[in-house]
Amino acid sequence: MPGTTLSDERLDRMTCECMSVRVRLLNRVITGLYDDAFRPLGVSANLVNILVPIARHGPLSPTDVCRRLRIEKSTLSRDLARMEASGWVEQLAGKGRTKAIRITAEGRSLLRQAFQSWEQAQQKCRELLGPSGQESVLDLAARLGWRAQGAEPRSTAQRIGVPPPTRPCNPVKSTGKTKRKPS
């Protein structure tokens, strides 16, 4: 059958061009910057990412949190159990099985403490990505439909000193003619 041979050229393309591998690597590296910053506080970046919208917009239903952060309900359930045990959030009784999640005074205190660590991690992240990388991340998030409540991603980019794009975004088209060395 034509096209079913797994040649070195195809493996090289998968090694050199795979977006999934690169995005997952970036995710691990960047999440590690934030986890390292938050570790002295006994919290992870994932938990802070959940606490912030609850603090800002809560009380929120678990479905609202999952929708805002694009996370699975099972992931949120595990994280909420830890946050409840730590006293950072509480679940409020609702109609039927629906419950709302509210941040506690301890949770707000944790976020106040975490802010300086977050700023340090943000700076390291900015240095790692550089201005064009920051712009790309913010633009991609906007194209995927993520917008911070009350703030457009472009205003965030401008606030951190990233200039607006000077060219329209065009997808990269592979011609298959360029052979790159595996990294």
- One-letter amino acid of 108: R
Nearest of 121, 139, 131 to residue 161 by alpha carbon: 131
C-alpha distances in angstroms, 139 versus 8, 131, 132, 143, 146? 35, 12, 10, 6, 10
CATH number (3.40.50.720, 2.40.50.140, 1.10.3720.10, 1.10.10.10) of 18-159 reads 1.10.10.10
Q: Provide φ and ψ at 46, rounded to 5°.
A: -60, -45
Q: How far apart are CA 126 and CA 155, in angstroms?
A: 16
The pLDDT of residue 16 is 87
Task: Give tens-digit pLDDT for 4-38.
Answer: 778 888 888 888 888 898 999 999 999 999 999 99
- One-letter amino acid of 166: T
pLDDT surpasses 70 at 180: no
Asked if 63 contacts 77 with a C-beta cutoff of 8 angstroms, the reply is: no
User: Does the pTM exceed 0.75?
Assistant: no
Which letter, b or e, does each residue of 97-117 get, where b requires 16 or more Cβ atoms within 10 Å of its Cβ? eebbbebbeebeebbeebeeb
Q: How far apart are CA 140 and CA 152, in angstroms?
A: 13
pLDDT surpasses 90 at 155: no
Delimit the domains of the chain by residue range: 18-159
